[in-house]
């Protein structure tokens, strides 16, 4: 890799790296070995101020450009990112511990897809003309202003790009706070945007824990907050943003159902369940962690799943043959171990995995519980680790009702060879991002986001534009004004 892991500064503000060692130390730990690979510092109030001032100044200039000119910068950034995919993927692996086999195809590539898509869309973002007889109204699509992005630790490059790309396309500037667990990758996104021609200050990165995020959310210069994180954090950030009447996008957690009917292609259903539970060691918000399998194929499903689990290559994430890596941190591993213990204690049948792997780093075995019931902790709470719960069901109506009996509503999937059933069932599942005979695809062209406690707003697709811009309407009277006196 040509990148140094230790960045030139902890923060990226006004087009350059900035350091302030007065901020609390943020150690960056490589999840595969437990070693410290870099040291950064949390933003002090002075750093946060610098970032907001830079963003405000850049936004005023950026909004004056034609949307086509803005789009050109984003598509150029997409091309640079794609060209450097290998180095960015290695850095993503160091930041998160995810296997290179995944990061090469799911992180900088997804980030550049977003930059390319919204770069291309920029020039077609318009208002409309509304005829009213002689008079008329026209609408102008305007930026919101300075926006804040706050990221989770599972997809640091992708989250930064999914927020920055539509925000900048609409004429906004952004201050982005990565998770303190994975602070490295967003800095590269900032560097690349500058190189692609974005004005200094348009996309700034400040490091820190929750309080840095909170200080951004409550600042009166900030017009919008987009958070990717857990429901408890979402509640706090949403409430703080509401106090300032700010726009929000909330991409929060889930406990999504995957329904496998008797007539499903078993290998595809097992493949979907593997993708939806073990990719990124299960650290994906939209995962289908409640796998409802119809009783007729339950044992066949479990047998095939067990066979395919033997093909997992667990090892060094930098080896491209590795298909299953460590958890992001010791803390996350400990949380997940606690859920596994609860699963056993509450009577679920452990059919695979369940243990820490005897090697350096934070590795847990891919774990499967069968005979899980709806009331068990592992069926109710988001685990965010490699733990699949298999539940069985008799009828379609029952499966739908049980799938919906959760406070979450991020994703849902159905495996069946009866397409009318596929559409009928998906139509009744209360979730935002759904799949038929597939799981966890997230192309930038499709809206992504949840219902109920899983979130507010949508990322990606044309739908995101509504969340990063606002409409001004202008009434134009062609005749005289009629006043009562």
What sign does the CA torsion over 158, 163, 164, 170 have? positive
The yes or no reply on residue 164 touching ligand NDP (CB under 6 A) is no
Catalytic residues, by residue number, are 251
Nearest to 39 by CA among 8, 14, 16: 8
- Which residues make Cβ contacts (< 8 Å) with residue 280, sequence separation at least 6? 96, 98, 102, 106, 154, 155
Q: In terms of CB distance, is 67 or 325 closer to ligand NDP?
A: 325
Minimum CB–partner distance for residue 88 and ligand NDP (Å): 19
Between the alpha carbon of residue 85 and those of residues 105, 106, 192, 342, 440, the distances in Å are 9, 10, 12, 40, 22
CB of 148 to ligand NDP, least distance (A): 9
Establish if 382 lies at the interface with ligand NDP (CB under 6 A): yes
Looking at residue 393, the DSSP 8-state letter turns out to be: E
The crossing angle, in degrees rounded to 10, of helices 266-278 and 298-309 is: 60
Q: What are phi and psi of 293, to 5 degrees?
A: -115, 130
Q: Which of 91, 78, 221 is nearest to 148 (CA)?
A: 221
For ligand NDP, the closer of residues 98 and 177 by Cβ is 177
Q: Which residue is nearest to ligand NDP (CB)?
A: 213
Each residue 294-333 as x (binds ligand NDP by CB under 6 A) or -, in order, gives ----------------------------------------
- Verify binding: residue 151, ligand NDP, rule CB under 6 A: yes
Using CB atoms within 10 Å of the CB of residue 129, give its burial: 0 to 12 exposed, 13 to 18 middle, 19+ buried: exposed
Residue 452 interacts with ligand NDP (CB under 6 A)?
Answer: no
Residue 153 in contact with ligand NDP, rule: CB under 6 A = yes
Q: List, as one string, the DSSP characters of 151-209.
A: --SS-HHHHHHHHHHHHHHTT-EEEEE--TTS-SHHHHHHHHHHHTTPPTTSEEE---S
CB of 146 to ligand NDP, least distance (A): 16
The span from the CA of 360 to the CA of 97, in Å, is 12
Task: Give dist(CA 120, CA 71) in Å, integer.
Answer: 6
Q: How many CA atoms lie within 13 A of 292 on its CB side?
A: 26
Report, in Å, the least distance between residue 482 CB and ligand NDP: 51
Residue 410 found at the interface with ligand NDP (CB under 6 A): yes
Q: By CB under 6 A, is residue 362 in contact with ligand NDP?
A: no
Q: Does 152 bind ligand NDP (CB under 6 A)?
A: yes
Q: Does 387 bind ligand NDP (CB under 6 A)?
A: no
Size of the site for ligand NDP (CB under 6 A): 29
What residues numbered 185-244 form the site for ligand NDP, per CB under 6 A? 209-210, 213-214, 217, 228-230, 233, 236-237
Nearest distance, CB of residue 367 and ligand NDP, angstroms? 18
Closest CA to 357 of 86, 117, 31: 31
Q: Considering only residues 456-475, where is the footprint of ligand NDP by CB under 6 A?
A: none
**Candidates 247-255, 263-271, 289-297, 474-482; binding stretch for ligand NDP (CB under 6 A):** 247-255
Residues near ligand NDP, by CB under 6 A: 150-154, 177, 179-180, 209-210, 213-214, 217, 228-230, 233, 236-237, 251-254, 285, 382, 384, 410, 450, 455
């Amino acid at each position: 890799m040509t990148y140094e892991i230790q960045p030139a500064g902890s923060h990226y503000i006004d087009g350059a790296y900035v350091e302030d060692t007065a901020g609390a130390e943020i150690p960056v730990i490589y999840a595969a070995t437990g070693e410290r690979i870099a040291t950064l510092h949390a933003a002090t109030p002075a750093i946060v101020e610098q970032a907001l001032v830079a963003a405000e100044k850049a936004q005023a200039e950026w909004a004056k450009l034609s949307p086509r000119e803005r789009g050109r910068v984003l598509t150029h950034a997409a091309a640079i990112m794609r060209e450097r995919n290998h180095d960015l993927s290695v850095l993503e692996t160091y930041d998160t511990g995810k296997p290179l086999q995944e990061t090469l195809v799911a992180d900088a590539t997804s980030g550049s897809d977003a930059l390319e898509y919204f770069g291309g869309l920029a020039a077609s973002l318009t208002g409309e003309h509304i005829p009213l007889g002689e008079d008329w109204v026209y609408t102008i699509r305007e930026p919101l202003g300075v926006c804040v992005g706050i990221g989770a630790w599972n997809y640091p490059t992708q989250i930064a790009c999914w927020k920055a790309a539509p925000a900048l396309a609409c004429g906004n500037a952004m201050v982005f706070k990565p998770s303190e667990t994975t602070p490295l990758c967003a800095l590269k996104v900032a560097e690349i945007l500058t190189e692609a021609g974005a004005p200094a200050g348009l996309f700034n990165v400040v490091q820190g824990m929750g309080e840095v995020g909170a200080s951004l959310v409550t600042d009166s210069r900030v017009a919008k907050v987009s958070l990717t994180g857990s429901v408890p954090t979402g509640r706090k950030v949403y409430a703080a943003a509401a106090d300032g009447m700010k726009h929000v996008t909330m991409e929060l957690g889930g406990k999504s159902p995957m329904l496998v009917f008797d007539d499903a292609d078993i290998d595809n259903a097992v493949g979907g369940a593997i993708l939806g539970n073990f990719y990124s060691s299960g650290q994906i918000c939209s995962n289908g962690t409640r796998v409802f399998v119809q009783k007729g194929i339950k044992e066949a499903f479990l047998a095939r799943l067990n066979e395919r689990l033997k093909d997992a290559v667990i090892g060094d994430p930098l080896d491209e043959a590795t298909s299953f890596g460590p958890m992001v941190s010791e803390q996350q591993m400990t949380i997940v171990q606690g859920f596994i213990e609860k699963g056993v204690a509450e009577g679920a049948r452990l059919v695979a995995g369940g243990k820490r792997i005897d090697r350096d780093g934070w590795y847990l075995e891919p774990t499967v519980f069968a005979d899980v019931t709806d009331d068990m902790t592992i069926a109710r709470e988001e685990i965010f680790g490699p733990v699949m719960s298999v539940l069985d069901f008799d009828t379609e109506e029952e499966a739908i009702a049980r799938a919906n009996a959760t406070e979450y509503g991020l994703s849902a999937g159905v495996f069946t060879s009866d397409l009318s059933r596929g559409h009928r069932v998906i139509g009744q599942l209360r979730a935002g991002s759904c799949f038929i005979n597939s799981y966890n695809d997230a192309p930038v062209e499709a809206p992504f986001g949840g219902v109920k406690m899983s979130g507010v707003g949508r990322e990606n697709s044309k739908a995101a534009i509504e969340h990063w811009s606002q409409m001004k309407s202008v009434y134009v009277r062609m005749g005289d004004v009629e006043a009562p006196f």
